[in-house]
Amino acid sequence: MATTERRGKQRSDTDVAGVVDRNGSRVDDATLLDLYRKMTEVRLFEEAAQRGFRQGKIGGYLHVYSGQEAVATGFLAAHREGDKAITAYRDHAHALLLGSEPGAVMAELYGRGTGLVKGKGGSMHLFDAANGMMGGYGIVGGHIPLGVGMAYGMRYRGEPGVVQLYLGDGAIHNGAFHEAANLAGLWGRDGLNPTLFIIENNQYGMGTSVERATAMTDLAAKFDSYGIAHEKVDGMDLGAVLACAHRVVDQVRETGRPYAVEALTYRIVPHGAGDFFEKYRTKEEVREWRERDPIGLLERRLIESGAADEERLGAIRAESKRAVEAAVRFADESPDPAIEELYTDVYADEVGSGR
Amino acid sequence: MVQAPERPAVARPAGDAEADEAPQRSFIEAIHDTLHEEMRADERIVVLGEDVGRRGGVFRVTEGLLAEFGEGRVIDTPLAESGIIGSAIGMALNGLRPVAEIQFLDFIHSAMDQLMNEAARLRYRSNNDVCCPLVVRVPFGGGVHGALYHSQSIEAVFVHTPGLKVVAPATPADARGLLRAAIRDDDPVLFLEHKRMYRLIKGSVPPGPHEVPLGRARVAREGSDATIVTYGFMVHEAEKAAAAAAERGASVEVIDLRSLKPLDEAAVIASAKKTGKALVVAEANRPCSVASEVAALIAEEAFAYLDAPVMRVAGPDVPAMPFSPPLEKAFLVDAEKIGAALGRLLAY
């Protein structure tokens, strides 16, 4: 099928030992193992969130990142202080990888007063400005112009930052994307738009495959229309993502011109709680992608390259597990928000604050 | 696309003696001059929109800004309202004070997601860590033969969006004072400019750091027998109706809201209690309008003081302002219609 063919073209043979950083040096084992720790923490966090949902501790809607970890982990490894990231609703990983406290993220999912935004946002709407996490957004495509505007603001003020702007394959068909990409290309000609578009192409916009959503399935190539250079990367392979990320983030930072990367990835779980994914994808397809689970792939490569053995990886996973358990405990033990919070943070001067 | 009317369709309202001594500026000049001054004073201000640069704006509000401030600060955008508002929000998130222009309020619908879902909520959803100091300047209102897509008054939608602020000045002085306040405000402000007023309405404009706080109404005319509450261009029509009533011996107060959100509830309630009769006037179609909100407020807060039901004069509930001049005239609220309602209210 077409998805397999597209992915196949991108299959990277780069092993971990071949990963280079911005200076062209090999990424050291300690860094890779730390990224392994982060990826496993994200996965375990998401699994704990799914459990919390099933237990009724998390209500509403829950969209987890399982299967896609290599994308945000790799790109955000190239994130520097002063950079910003903005994403859609599948946003837990981005917050965690940018440095949000796992306890505060889980508490937000639980709707507790100790959550990142005091329980006002929930799963799809995290925000952590201090860490450069400029929000997860629940309207598909709606955040894209914001990211482009932030990038303009950075260069206008002479800041060296980069905006990592994450969007799904589903968002690329939304009008806001096309308006914003056009502006990014336009402003980038003058070096005024350091936006790195990262398309997390997990093959499905909810239940509608890329093939069923567009007659032109090469999503990266859509950026040609806006004068934005682009490439694709194997989004299941952390090594490939890292190598790409370091190179392109530096390039965007130096030129002030936008760039786009289509990361080919897969959500190995349903779209959200309550999704029936057998209705739109086959067991065989899911199994095939799971064989290339980014965490398993990285484990094999760490072992093959001699960076770690099973025991070491087990110890790292145990560390991640403890961190997630602590986050769940924190959320469980946290109080609900004060009802007064309903009326706070409306206006600067709290005029007409909703009462 | 329609052009602003070059010739006044009605006489300018008489100013008071003191005001006539100050420099007289048109509504559009007041906005232009204030924007110009603010940009000189604050480098964080950028102006963006369709044709705001080389052409100087569809109504030429931004004329001359490009020459002085350059393309980095005066940005001609493609025709993409969602992109304009959305990227302006992003600029505001990164420390700028964007003043976006949407050519007509009728065009803003495609940016509604950006305004209602994002701009209005950033402070609330971010633990107060970020804010959105954005001004969106938009010409609105009809009476220029603009028909379906160049005549609308959908301000109620924004008033109904918590997190936004909405102002609609009626005089050059207030345009200056409110624009300054809007630009300096840390929340997103929709700045509504009734397009009939641009060159039609002239008045004194205080020089210097004149600022009108958001959320304060103005008593445009004092009176004791009835109150008209209105805003924007309708203030001038209401003043004409009040002047006509005065000739028949009635003393009618006119409250110019200036800010629709926050609404100066105290000023409205105080006037309604004082006169005991209230007429709310708006050009927008009536159901769920700003006029509805004001009428409800008076009914809730001044009921015991009222000698008559609160009345409304507003636009008809039809899908668009028609093009044909007689139909357009029938749609529009004017001094005559206000006067007729006022007569019924005074006689009640």
Q: Which of A150, A162, A197 to mutate to test the interface with B (most CBs of B within 10 A)?
A: A150
Residues of chain A in contact with residue B46, where contact means CB-CB under 8 angstroms, are 156
- Measure the CA–CA gap between A43 and A10, rounded to whole angstroms: 24
Nearest to A352 among B72, B118, B262 (CB): B262
Q: What is the DSSP secondary-structure string of B272-323?
A: HHHHS-EEEEEEEESTTSHHHHHHHHHHHHSGGG-SS--EEEEE-SSSS--S
Assign residue A252 the CATH number of its domain: 3.40.50.970
What's the pLDDT at B21? 65
Contact assignment for A148 to B87 by CB distance below 8 Å? yes
- B247, part of any domain: yes
pTM (two decimals): 0.92
Say whether residue B83 is in contact with chain A using an 8 A CB cutoff. Answer: yes
Domain boundary among B174, B204, B234: B204
Let me know whether B173 and B225 are in one domain. no
Question: Is B16 a domain residue?
Answer: no
Is residue A2 in some structural domain? Answer: no
Segments forming the whole domain that contains residue A330: 21-264+286-334
**Catalytic site includes residue B145:** no
For residue A9, is it within any domain? no
Q: Do A149 and B93 touch (CB under 8 A)?
A: yes
The verdict on B61 and B200 lying in the same domain is yes
pLDDT tens by residue, chain A, 355 residues: 333 343 333 434 444 445 655 555 568 899 999 999 999 999 999 999 999 999 999 999 999 999 999 999 999 999 999 999 999 999 999 999 999 999 999 999 999 999 999 999 999 999 999 999 999 999 999 999 999 999 999 999 999 999 999 999 999 999 999 999 999 999 999 999 999 999 999 999 999 999 999 999 999 999 999 999 999 999 999 999 999 999 999 999 999 999 999 999 999 988 877 777 778 999 899 999 999 999 999 999 999 999 999 999 999 999 999 999 999 999 999 999 999 999 999 999 865 444 4
* Domain presence at residue A52: yes
> SS in 3 state form for chain A?
CHHHHHHHHHCCCCCHHHCECCCCCECCHHHHHHHHHHHHHHHHHHHHHHHHHHCCCCCCCCCCCCCCHHHHHHHHCCCCCCCEEEECCCCHHHHHHHCCCHHHHHHHHHCCCCCCCCCCCCCCCCCEHHHCEEEECCCCCCCHHHHHHHHHHHHHCCCCCCEEEEEECCHHHCHHHHHHHHHHHHHHCCCCCCEEEEEEECCEECCEEHHHHCCCCCCHHHHHHHCCCEEEEECCCHHHHHHHHHHHHHHHHHHCCCEEEEEECCCCCCCCCCCCHHHCCCHHHHHHHHCCCHHHHHHHHHHHCCCCCHHHHHHHHHHHHHHHHHHHHHHHHCCCCCHHHHHCCCCCCCCCCCC
Number of folded domains that form chain B: 2
Q: How far is B60 from chain A (nearest CA, A)?
A: 23
Task: Give B274 to chain A, closest Cα distance, Å.
Answer: 24
Whether residue B241 is found in the same domain as residue B197? no
- Assess contact for B238 and B254: CB atoms under 8 A: yes
Question: Is residue A344 within 8 angstroms of chain B, CB to CB?
Answer: yes
Are B190 and B61 in a shared domain?
A: yes
Nearest CB to A152 within list B90, B125, B165: B90
Residue B194, phi-psi category: left (phi > 0), alpha (psi -120 to 50), beta (remainder): beta
Any domain includes B87? yes
At residue A6, the pLDDT reads 39
8 Å CB contact between A14 and A70: no
A101, A105, A177, A179: which to substitute to probe chain B, counting the most B Cβ within 10 Å? A179
- Report in angstroms the alpha-carbon separations of A13 from A17, A18, A240, A265, B130: 11, 10, 9, 16, 43
Q: Are residues B61 and B122 in the same domain?
A: yes
Pairing of strands A204-205, A208-209: antiparallel
Do B72 and A156 count as a contact with CB atoms less than 8 A apart? yes
pLDDT of residue B10: 35
Q: What is the pLDDT of residues A79-130, one digit of tens each?
A: 999 999 999 999 999 999 999 999 999 999 999 999 999 999 999 999 999 9
Quote the ipTM score. 0.90
From B179, B204, B229, the end of a domain falls on B204
* Active-site hit among B32, B36, B109, B150: B150
Inter-chain Cβ pairs, chain A and chain B, closer than 8 A: 150
Helix (H) or strand (E) holding B101, with range, is strand B97-101
Residues 271-290 of B with CB under 8 A from A: none
Q: Find the CATH number of the domain harbouring B134.
A: 3.40.50.970
Q: How many domains does chain A have?
A: 1
B12 in a domain, yes or no? no
* Final residue of a structural domain among B204, B230, B263: B204
Measure A318 CA to nearest chain B CA, in Å.
Answer: 32
Task: Identify whether B276 is part of a domain.
Answer: yes
The answer to whether position A235 is within a domain reads yes
In this structure, is residue B269 part of a structural domain? yes
Query: Is A45 a domain residue?
Result: yes
Domain of residue B278: give its range.
218-346
Q: Quick check: is B160 in a domain?
A: yes
For chain B, positions 100-129, list CB contacts with chain A under 8 A. 110, 113-114, 117-118, 122-129
Q: What does each of the 348 residues of chain B score in pLDDT, given as a tens digit?
A: 334 434 333 333 444 444 456 789 999 999 999 999 999 999 999 999 999 999 999 999 999 999 999 999 999 999 999 999 999 999 999 999 999 999 999 999 999 999 999 999 999 999 999 999 999 999 999 999 999 999 999 999 999 999 999 999 999 999 999 999 999 999 999 999 999 999 999 999 998 889 999 999 999 999 999 999 999 999 999 999 999 999 999 999 999 999 999 999 999 999 999 999 999 999 999 999 999 999 999 999 999 999 999 999 999 999 999 999 999 999 999 999 999 999 999 999
The residue with tokens 């008559």 is B308
B225, B275 Cβ separation under 8 angstroms: yes
Q: What is the pLDDT of residue A116?
A: 97
